[in-house]
Amino acid sequence: MSSAKAKNPLYVVTNDGKDVESATGVFDMLIKKFGLEPLMTIFQSILDMISGQVGNYGFFLFLQDLVDQFVALLEDIRNKVSLFVPGLK
């Protein structure tokens, strides 16, 4: 086992127990578990489009605040889920 591999890797069971996928972290696990990959692809596309329109510092601050709010929302969700799933914090 290489040192780059995690000692306790995360795995996600989906499709009524028929599929098992590895997850790179807590958010990746939640995204895969709840089937949010298409939503994250759309969000990434929107974020790429908006970030391509940054023309001044004010808009950059707006975009940074938007991303910070989204990350805070994800962290809040992780904290709530961690009450039921040990080891997520």
pLDDT, one tens digit per residue, over 39-86 is 889 989 988 888 888 888 988 898 899 889 988 998 888 788 777 766
8 Å CB contact between 12 and 29 = yes
Q: Structural domain boundaries of the chain?
A: 10-82
- pTM score of the predicted model: 0.60
Closest C-alpha among 45, 39, 25, 43 to residue 89: 25
- pLDDT tens digits, one per residue of 9-48: 778 888 777 888 888 887 788 888 888 899 889 989 988 8
